[in-house]
Amino acid sequence: MRTVVIDPRGAFRLERRPEPVAGPGAVVVRVRAAGLNAADLQQARGDYPAPPGWPADVPGLEVAGEVEQTGPGVTQVAPGDRVMALVGGGGHAERITVPADLLLPVPEGLSWEEAAGFPEAFSTAWDALVTQAGIRAGDRVLVTGAAGGVGTAMVQVAAVSGAHAVASVRRPGLHGRVGALAADGRVDVVTPDEEAVHAPYDVIVELVGGEDCLQRVALLRSRGTILVVGVQAGATAPLRMFDLMLARARLIGTTIRGRSPAEKALLAATVRTSVTPLLARGRLRVPVDAAFSLDRFAEAYERLAGPGKFGKVVLVP
């Protein structure tokens, strides 16, 4: 099969690899579309290696496609089922082996491209906002970098939870599209220099990073929470800890990729029962910025690394 690999120099290239086989408790998925994420670029730089048990040199954290093979002990899906999954790597290929307990059903009418952009973004958003921050109706939530794949998911999860989202988007040309993600006026879209106007916030979702990002502690309501989810603009930031103490605030850093198989299966079960039904009913949607065929992988990663995206970049093997 064809697959994208990361060579020893950190460059992406296309090559052929043996076809996967479904082992006990796993399935082989014929990949129809695969989402791209910042983690793919970080892996190529050597900053974010794949966890044990997943290909060390094949990027791709989320896939959508059809079950082709089922391994011993798999009863919950059958060949031909439409599925999507958040995986530890190896998604940017024509086929992939996936533990069956990570699979999510693809709702009827959802395109492959949309399905491929759902697992990572919405698993991250639900886990961060609902499970970890304990978001409640009436909360005010600031989302930085809100036009990207995870950002658009965060805005929507905040809105369906009854919170009011303030989406920070650097490019004014994207403000209208981000604002349309939530109905009933549950989102305001601002530029970064306007974030303070809408403070104080109960939850701040940091998706950008950079040396000034933790200065947003000053925008928190007492007992508020900062969630650090993305650091593409820089992973080091000074923090005046007394400001955190005065706000009686929580600072939470989170990723999913390095969690144990049991933790990932639990998260998949949560998404399967609580989040996928919202997608099926049209209360959540997956904006797709661009889709590229597998042989145009270089263009896809270039688009991922570039500015001005709205939603997900997707490969279509």
Strand 95-99 versus strand 26-35 pairing type: antiparallel
Q: Is the dihedral of CA 152, 153, 158, 159 positive or negative?
A: positive
Does the pTM exceed 0.85?
yes
pLDDT at residue 185, rounded to an integer: 79
Report helix, strand or coil for 98.
strand
pLDDT in tens, 6-65: 999 999 999 999 999 999 999 999 999 999 999 999 999 998 999 999 999 999 999 999
82-96, 158-172, 225-239 — which is least confidently predicted? Answer: 225-239
Q: Identify the band that residue 108 occupies on the pLDDT scale cut at 50, 70 and 90.
A: very high
CB 84 within 8 A of CB 60: no
C-alpha span between 270 and 86 (Å, rounded) = 13
CATH number of 2-118+257-316: 3.90.180.10
Topology of domain 121-253, per CATH?
Rossmann fold (3.40.50)
> Among 116, 65, 61, 63, which residue's Cα sits nearest to residue 89?
61
pLDDT at residue 7, rounded to an integer: 96
pLDDT at residue 231, rounded to an integer: 87
CB 62 within 8 A of CB 136: no
Strand 220-228 versus strand 201-206 pairing type: parallel
When the pLDDT of each residue in the chain is averaged and rounded to a whole number, the result is 96
Report helix, strand or coil for 4.
strand
> Among 18, 14, 101, 104, which residue's Cα sits nearest to residue 59?
14
What is the rounded end-to-end Cα distance, in angstroms, of the chain? 10
- Domain extent listing, the chain: 2-118+257-316, 121-253
CB 97 within 8 A of CB 37: no
Q: What is the DSSP string of 279-301?
A: HHTTSS---EEEEEEGGGHHHHH
